[in-house]
Amino acid sequence: MRLIIVLPLVVHTESYSKGRGVSPGVAAFIAAHLRSVDDLQLLVAFFNSSDRWWATASVGRALRLGEDEARRVLERFAASNLLEIKLTDDIRYQFRPGTDALHRGAAACIAEFGSNPAAIVRAIVEGAGRDEPAR
């Protein structure tokens, strides 16, 4: 089975003109964990298939990322306590946040992305230049 996540390529500006931003909790989650839209794609894919164990190569193929980039994001998410790691013939990752607060933050981010994708993408892009690494 091949999973393809397609994010909207056209972001309507009406969300901006209505002043709809992201909630403070989601803004904090984004600042702490998401550096790029690729990170968001990975979060959505993992959240929507939380029973699946992912290998780095399958993440790269599904999200159309290079394997090295997929590995960097996976390692960062694992270090942020968003993923569980299983060592087999390869390292496998599964969405299993270490705290209820992390799970709620991810769920809220994905829910707001579903209802207001422009605001979520904007919050990620605006935070992409921050000096502090994501936690």
The verdict on residue 61 lying in a domain is yes
Higher-pLDDT residue of 14, 58:
58
Q: Give the C-alpha distances (Å, rounded to integers) separating 76 from 26, 70, 112.
A: 18, 10, 22
Mean pLDDT, range 8-36, rounded to an integer: 70
d(CA 36, CA 33): 9
Model pLDDT, residue 88: 85
Is residue 59 in a domain? Answer: yes
In a domain, 119, yes or no: yes
DSSP three-state, residue 54: strand
Output the pLDDT for position 90.
87
Residue 117 belongs to domain with CATH number? 1.10.10.10
For residue 10, pLDDT over 50 is answered with no
17 occurs within a structural domain: no
> Which residue range forms the structural domain that includes residue 107?
36-127
Distance CA 69, CA 44 (A): 17
Q: How confident is the model at residue 23 (pLDDT cuts 50, 70, 90)?
A: very high
Within a domain: residue 11?
no
Domain total of the chain = 1
Cα separation, 101 vs 21, whole angstroms: 21
Contacts of 27 (CB under 8 A, 6+ apart): 21, 123
- The reply to whether 25 falls in a domain is no
In a domain, 14, yes or no: no
The predicted model scores a pTM of 0.78
- Report residue 25's pLDDT band, with 50, 70 and 90 as the boundaries: very high
Question: Residues with Cβ < 8 Å from 63, sequence gap 6 or more?
Answer: 5, 38, 41, 42, 45, 70
pLDDT of residue 65: 87
